[in-house]
């Protein structure tokens, strides 16, 4: 049973980290693509995409 818990912790940790890394990479790429070096403002589209990522990760 401990193996099952360990695998579950690894899966949740990996999926959470992958979502965070994906969001950071997307925001950084968009910031450099638009050549804006000020703070990136999160709009409704960003929040919708973030919500969709979490919906796919945690059904």
**Residue holding tokens 């969709």?**
52
pLDDT score for 44: 62
Residue 35, sorted as left (phi over 0), alpha (psi -120 to 50) or beta, turns out to be: left
pLDDT score for 12: 93
What pLDDT digit, counting tens, does each position of 17-55 carry? 998 988 888 887 776 655 554 555 555 666 666 666 666
Domain ranges of the chain: 2-57
Residue 57 and residue 15 in contact, taking contact as beta carbons nearer than 8 Å:
yes
């Amino acid at each position: 049973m401990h193996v099952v818990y360990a695998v579950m912790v690894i899966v949740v940790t990996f999926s959470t980290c992958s979502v965070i890394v994906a969001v950071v990479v997307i925001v950084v790429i968009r910031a450099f693509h638009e050549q804006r070096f000020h703070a990136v403002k999160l709009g409704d589209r960003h929040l919708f995409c973030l919500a969709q990522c979490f919906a796919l990760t945690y059904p």
